Protein backbone atom coordinates (compact mmCIF):
# COMPACT_ATOMS: atom_id res chain seq x y z
CA UNK A 1 0.00 0.00 0.00
CA UNK A 2 1.45 3.37 -1.05
CA UNK A 3 1.20 5.88 1.85
CA UNK A 4 3.01 8.76 0.10
CA UNK A 5 -0.03 10.27 -1.71
CA UNK A 6 -2.02 10.11 1.53
CA UNK A 7 0.71 11.89 3.50
CA UNK A 8 1.02 14.51 0.77
CA UNK A 9 -2.71 15.21 0.91
CA UNK A 10 -2.51 15.68 4.69
CA UNK A 11 0.37 18.09 4.30
CA UNK A 12 -1.52 20.12 1.72
CA UNK A 13 -4.59 20.45 3.98
CA UNK A 14 -2.67 21.66 7.07
CA UNK A 15 -2.05 25.30 8.10
CA UNK A 16 1.41 26.69 7.75
CA UNK A 17 3.05 28.64 10.60
CA UNK A 18 2.70 31.87 8.64
CA UNK A 19 -1.02 31.31 8.15
CA UNK A 20 -1.55 30.55 11.83
CA UNK A 21 0.35 33.68 12.88
CA UNK A 22 -1.70 35.75 10.43
CA UNK A 23 -4.99 34.46 11.86
CA UNK A 24 -3.82 35.06 15.43
CA UNK A 25 -2.73 38.58 14.51
CA UNK A 26 -6.11 39.38 12.95
CA UNK A 27 -7.97 38.07 16.01
CA UNK A 28 -5.72 40.10 18.32
CA UNK A 29 -6.29 43.24 16.26
CA UNK A 30 -10.06 42.75 16.35
CA UNK A 31 -9.97 42.32 20.13
CA UNK A 32 -7.89 45.48 20.56
CA UNK A 33 -10.26 47.47 18.37
CA UNK A 34 -13.42 46.09 19.99
CA UNK A 35 -12.35 46.38 23.66
CA UNK A 36 -12.90 50.17 24.08
CA UNK A 37 -16.32 49.91 22.48
CA UNK A 38 -17.25 46.97 24.69
CA UNK A 39 -16.10 48.82 27.80
CA UNK A 40 -18.19 51.85 26.82
CA UNK A 41 -21.22 49.62 26.27
CA UNK A 42 -20.81 48.00 29.69
CA UNK A 43 -20.41 51.39 31.39
CA UNK A 44 -23.47 52.75 29.61
CA UNK A 45 -25.45 49.69 30.72
CA UNK A 46 -24.45 50.24 34.35
CA UNK A 47 -25.42 53.90 34.08
CA UNK A 48 -28.80 53.02 32.57
CA UNK A 49 -29.45 50.46 35.29
CA UNK A 50 -28.64 53.01 38.03
CA UNK A 51 -30.93 55.59 36.44
CA UNK A 52 -33.80 53.16 35.93
CA UNK A 53 -33.55 52.05 39.57
CA UNK A 54 -33.81 55.65 40.79
CA UNK A 55 -36.77 56.40 38.53
CA UNK A 56 -38.54 53.26 39.75
CA UNK A 57 -38.10 54.31 43.37
CA UNK A 58 -39.25 57.84 42.69
CA UNK A 59 -42.37 56.34 41.17
CA UNK A 60 -42.74 54.02 44.16
CA UNK A 61 -42.48 56.99 46.55
CA UNK A 62 -45.31 58.71 44.71
CA UNK A 63 -47.47 55.57 44.70
CA UNK A 64 -46.85 54.96 48.41
CA UNK A 65 -47.83 58.54 49.28
CA UNK A 66 -51.11 58.14 47.39
CA UNK A 67 -51.95 54.64 48.64
CA UNK A 68 -50.98 55.35 52.29
CA UNK A 69 -52.65 58.79 52.24
CA UNK A 70 -49.50 60.01 53.97
CA UNK A 71 -46.45 61.96 52.89
CA UNK A 72 -43.44 59.90 51.76
CA UNK A 73 -39.90 61.14 51.37
CA UNK A 74 -37.11 60.12 49.06
CA UNK A 75 -34.00 60.79 51.14
CA UNK A 76 -30.68 61.19 49.38
CA UNK A 77 -27.87 60.36 51.79
CA UNK A 78 -24.64 62.33 51.54
CA UNK A 79 -21.31 61.62 53.21
CA UNK A 80 -17.57 61.50 52.58
CA UNK A 81 -16.44 57.95 51.83
CA UNK A 82 -12.67 57.44 52.32
CA UNK A 83 -12.79 54.26 50.22
CA UNK A 84 -14.32 55.99 47.18
CA UNK A 85 -12.68 57.67 44.19
CA UNK A 86 -13.48 61.05 45.77
CA UNK A 87 -12.61 60.42 49.43
CA UNK A 88 -12.61 64.07 50.52
CA UNK A 89 -15.96 65.06 48.98
CA UNK A 90 -19.43 64.70 50.47
CA UNK A 91 -21.38 62.92 47.76
CA UNK A 92 -24.69 61.07 47.55
CA UNK A 93 -24.05 57.32 47.42
CA UNK A 94 -27.46 56.02 48.54
CA UNK A 95 -31.14 56.84 48.88
CA UNK A 96 -34.15 55.48 50.73
CA UNK A 97 -37.94 55.74 50.92
CA UNK A 98 -39.15 57.00 54.29
CA UNK A 99 -42.70 57.59 55.54
CA UNK A 100 -43.02 61.04 57.11
CA UNK A 101 -43.59 61.14 60.89
CA UNK A 102 -47.21 61.07 62.03
CA UNK A 103 -48.38 62.88 65.20
CA UNK A 104 -44.84 63.49 66.41
CA UNK A 105 -43.74 59.89 65.94
CA UNK A 106 -40.63 58.52 64.26
CA UNK A 107 -40.12 58.43 60.52
CA UNK A 108 -40.47 54.88 59.21
CA UNK A 109 -38.35 53.31 56.49
CA UNK A 110 -40.50 51.97 53.67
CA UNK A 111 -37.57 50.38 51.83
CA UNK A 112 -34.04 49.31 52.56
CA UNK A 113 -31.38 51.84 51.56
CA UNK A 114 -30.44 51.52 47.89
CA UNK A 115 -26.74 51.97 47.22
CA UNK A 116 -25.50 53.09 43.83
CA UNK A 117 -23.06 50.71 42.16
CA UNK A 118 -19.38 51.18 42.92
CA UNK A 119 -17.98 54.16 41.03
CA UNK A 120 -21.43 55.63 40.30
CA UNK A 121 -22.73 58.64 42.27
CA UNK A 122 -25.23 61.46 42.17
CA UNK A 123 -23.20 64.38 40.83
CA UNK A 124 -22.62 67.04 43.52
CA UNK A 125 -21.99 69.91 41.06
CA UNK A 126 -24.72 72.60 41.11
CA UNK A 127 -24.97 72.58 37.31
CA UNK A 128 -25.69 68.84 37.28
CA UNK A 129 -27.81 68.30 40.40
CA UNK A 130 -29.49 71.52 41.55
CA UNK A 131 -31.98 69.47 43.57
CA UNK A 132 -29.10 68.42 45.83
CA UNK A 133 -27.74 71.92 46.39
CA UNK A 134 -29.63 74.32 48.60
CA UNK A 135 -30.19 74.49 51.43
CA UNK A 136 -27.50 72.76 53.43
CA UNK A 137 -28.28 69.08 53.95
CA UNK A 138 -30.26 68.03 56.98
CA UNK A 139 -28.31 66.39 59.81
CA UNK A 140 -28.95 62.70 60.43
CA UNK A 141 -32.20 62.08 62.25
CA UNK A 142 -32.08 59.99 65.41
CA UNK A 143 -35.29 58.19 66.24
CA UNK A 144 -36.76 58.21 69.72
CA UNK A 145 -35.15 54.83 70.31
CA UNK A 146 -31.73 56.45 69.82
CA UNK A 147 -31.10 54.50 66.62
CA UNK A 148 -30.21 56.11 63.33
CA UNK A 149 -32.59 55.52 60.46
CA UNK A 150 -29.64 55.06 58.10
CA UNK A 151 -26.10 53.79 58.61
CA UNK A 152 -23.65 53.80 55.68
CA UNK A 153 -21.72 50.76 54.62
CA UNK A 154 -17.99 50.51 55.14
CA UNK A 155 -17.90 51.39 58.83
CA UNK A 156 -18.58 55.10 58.45
CA UNK A 157 -20.32 56.62 61.50
CA UNK A 158 -24.02 57.36 60.95
CA UNK A 159 -23.56 60.80 62.50
CA UNK A 160 -21.36 61.78 59.53
CA UNK A 161 -24.28 61.35 57.12
CA UNK A 162 -26.53 64.19 55.97
CA UNK A 163 -29.47 64.00 53.64
CA UNK A 164 -31.60 65.90 51.15
CA UNK A 165 -35.30 65.18 51.11
CA UNK A 166 -37.84 65.16 48.28
CA UNK A 167 -41.30 64.75 49.77
CA UNK A 168 -44.24 63.29 47.86
CA UNK A 169 -47.81 64.20 48.78
CA UNK A 170 -51.14 62.44 48.59
CA UNK A 171 -52.06 64.21 45.35
CA UNK A 172 -48.92 62.90 43.60
CA UNK A 173 -46.99 66.18 43.72
CA UNK A 174 -43.63 66.61 45.42
CA UNK A 175 -41.67 69.32 47.17
CA UNK A 176 -38.06 69.84 48.19
CA UNK A 177 -36.95 70.37 51.78
CA UNK A 178 -35.49 73.89 51.75
CA UNK A 179 -35.39 74.72 55.48
CA UNK A 180 -34.03 72.81 58.41
CA UNK A 181 -36.81 71.44 60.58
CA UNK A 182 -34.54 70.05 63.29
CA UNK A 183 -36.52 67.95 65.72
CA UNK A 184 -39.62 70.10 65.33
CA UNK A 185 -42.47 68.11 63.79
CA UNK A 186 -45.05 70.88 64.06
CA UNK A 187 -47.34 70.69 61.03
CA UNK A 188 -47.00 74.38 60.17
CA UNK A 189 -43.21 74.31 60.41
CA UNK A 190 -43.04 71.19 58.28
CA UNK A 191 -45.42 72.58 55.66
CA UNK A 192 -43.39 75.75 55.16
CA UNK A 193 -40.07 73.88 55.13
CA UNK A 194 -40.92 72.17 51.85
CA UNK A 195 -41.20 74.26 48.70
CA UNK A 196 -41.96 73.54 45.05
CA UNK A 197 -38.75 73.62 42.98
CA UNK A 198 -38.84 75.36 39.63
CA UNK A 199 -38.89 72.95 36.69
CA UNK A 200 -35.72 74.49 35.22
CA UNK A 201 -33.75 73.51 38.33
CA UNK A 202 -35.71 70.41 39.31
CA UNK A 203 -33.27 67.74 38.20
CA UNK A 204 -30.35 65.62 39.34
CA UNK A 205 -27.71 63.67 37.46
CA UNK A 206 -26.14 60.27 37.92
CA UNK A 207 -22.54 60.11 36.77
CA UNK A 208 -19.23 58.38 37.46
CA UNK A 209 -17.24 59.36 40.53
CA UNK A 210 -14.18 59.74 38.32
CA UNK A 211 -16.00 62.51 36.38
CA UNK A 212 -16.81 64.59 39.48
CA UNK A 213 -15.20 68.05 39.56
CA UNK A 214 -13.20 67.49 36.38
CA UNK A 215 -14.52 70.69 34.81
CA UNK A 216 -15.94 68.78 31.85
CA UNK A 217 -19.56 69.81 31.35
CA UNK A 218 -21.52 67.76 30.66
CA UNK A 219 -19.62 64.58 31.54
CA UNK A 220 -19.10 61.99 28.82
CA UNK A 221 -21.68 59.64 30.25
CA UNK A 222 -24.57 60.62 32.50
CA UNK A 223 -28.21 59.94 33.34
CA UNK A 224 -30.15 63.13 34.06
CA UNK A 225 -33.59 62.97 35.67
CA UNK A 226 -35.89 66.00 35.64
CA UNK A 227 -38.88 65.88 38.00
CA UNK A 228 -42.08 67.84 37.51
CA UNK A 229 -42.99 68.84 41.06
CA UNK A 230 -46.68 69.31 40.24
CA UNK A 231 -47.19 65.83 38.80
CA UNK A 232 -44.21 63.97 40.27
CA UNK A 233 -43.39 62.61 36.83
CA UNK A 234 -39.78 62.12 35.71
CA UNK A 235 -38.17 62.81 32.35
CA UNK A 236 -34.81 61.36 31.31
CA UNK A 237 -31.97 63.01 29.40
CA UNK A 238 -29.01 61.01 28.12
CA UNK A 239 -26.00 61.94 25.94
For the chain, what are the domain ranges?
8-237
Q: What is the rounded (10 degree) CA torsion for 13, 15, 18, 24?
A: 150
Confidence of residue 22 (pLDDT cuts 50, 70, 90): confident
Evaluate if residue 203 carries a pLDDT over 70.
yes
What tens digit of pLDDT does each residue of 100-117 get?
Answer: 877 767 788 899 999 999
pLDDT of residue 228: 95
Q: Is the peptide bond preceding residue 135 cis, with omega within 30 degrees of 0?
A: yes
- Give the fold, CATH level 3, of 8-237: minor pseudopilin epsh fold (3.55.40)
Mean pLDDT of the chain: 83
Check: CB of residue 53 under 8 Å from CB of residue 79: no
SS3 93: strand
Q: Taking the alpha carbons of 90, 140, 64, 154 in that order, is the dihedral positive or negative?
A: positive
Average pLDDT on 225-235 reads 94
Confidence of residue 65 (pLDDT cuts 50, 70, 90): very high
The pTM assigned to this predicted structure is: 0.79
Amino acid sequence: MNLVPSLRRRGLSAFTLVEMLTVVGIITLLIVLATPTLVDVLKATRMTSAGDNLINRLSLAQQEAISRNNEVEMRFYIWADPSSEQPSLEICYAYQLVAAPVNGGDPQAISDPFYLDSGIVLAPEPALSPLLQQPMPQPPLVRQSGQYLFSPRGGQPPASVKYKSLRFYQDGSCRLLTQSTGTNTDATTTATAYTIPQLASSFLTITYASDVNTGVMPPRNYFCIQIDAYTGKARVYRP
